[in-house]
Amino acid sequence: MDDAFCELLQPYDVNLATSLDGPEEINDHQRGAGYFERCMAGIHTARRHGLSVGVICTFTPLSAPFYRQVFDFFAAEGLSFSVHAAVCALGSSPGEMTLPPDEAARLMVDLFDYYLENSNLIRISTFDRMARGLATQNGAICTFGDCLGKYLTIAPWGEIFSCSRFAHHPQWQLGSVFDCPDVDRLARSQAWQKLRQRELSVLQACGGCTHFEYCKGGCPYNAITGGGQRDPQCAVYRQLFDHITSRALDGIFSDENQEEVIEHASGRTGLMRKGRLIQVMKGGTHPQEAARETKAAEKL
């Protein structure tokens, strides 16, 4: 990430994302010495050019116990992030960096609660979208939807894959840009047909689940890696969706909202609007988003 590249992107209002797992000691312990310094240098360069930067944070057994420090670091840097628990790569078995489902579930629930306590600082988009998906009964993130054909990825040599996670695995290539394929042609590929069959069959594996309408069996990449139809992180998603539901009910029946119910009965508006989680589930704007919208309006 240098000045020339930023100048190329700037006119198009491109949002950038990078992988970063927290403060230097935690991040480099997972990703190697020097990663943090190089990544932060790129973030600072992008920001000097007015480009928005988000982060994908991956938790492993090494970093999960320090989730508060990770959040506090991103909050201090003003970096919103999405969150993932480390899972094994396609074609490999779980290793020491893979977070077991029970530990991942505990991490996600604890981090979600800590996020709600500090939600005025930054966004964790994963949690916001999961909460919104639960409220609308429709998956609001690629992990929780019929994603085939919606997140196509083009690899450096022109190969087309259903998403970036399948890139560089030839057996999952849908086509090539040099063949100028349309969607119908991609859909006739063997890889597409296998992924489509997984979408159809996951209903049998997960159809009876309370959360199926806004989960859809989780990520197909994770499912294929785990050797089944259902994402091996199923227990994690279920516990987190259950926890979000419980927290939302606590918010709805909070003293503040009960007062709103009473005031609404006497002619005032604003029923059930108190609480950060309620606002997220309603699709409310985060303070940082509001600031960006205001800045964009000022430019116009």
Left if phi > 0, otherwise alpha if psi is -120 to 50, otherwise beta: which for 217? left
Output the pLDDT for position 295. Answer: 44
For the chain, list the domains and their CATH numbers. 3-138 (3.20.20.70), 139-284 (no CATH)
End-to-end CA separation in angstroms for the chain: 27
- pLDDT, tens digit, 9 for 90 and up, residues 72-122: 999 999 999 999 888 778 877 777 888 888 999 999 999 999 999 998 999
Q: Cα Rg for the chain, rounded, in angstroms?
A: 21
Output the pLDDT for position 100. Answer: 87
Report the candidate in 41, 54, 55 with the shortest Cα–Cα distance to residue 15.
Answer: 54
Rounded to the nearest angstrom, the gap between the alpha carbon of residue 297 and the centroid of all alpha carbons in its chain is: 27
**Residue 284 half-sphere exposure toward CB, CA atoms < 13 A:** 17
Output the pLDDT for position 193. Answer: 96
**Rounded CA separation 254/259 (Å):** 9
- What are residue 6's phi and psi, to 5 degrees? -65, -40
Instruction: Spell out, as residue ranges, where the chain has pLDDT lower than 70.
Output: 252-275, 282, 284-300
Question: The dihedral of CA 197, 201, 203, 209: what is its sign?
Answer: negative
- pLDDT, tens digit, 9 for 90 and up, residues 254-283: 666 656 555 555 555 544 455 677 777 767
Output the pLDDT for position 97. Answer: 87
Output the pLDDT for position 23. Answer: 97
Contact 85, 233 (CB under 8 A): yes
What pTM value is reported for the model? 0.82
Output the pLDDT for position 281. Answer: 72
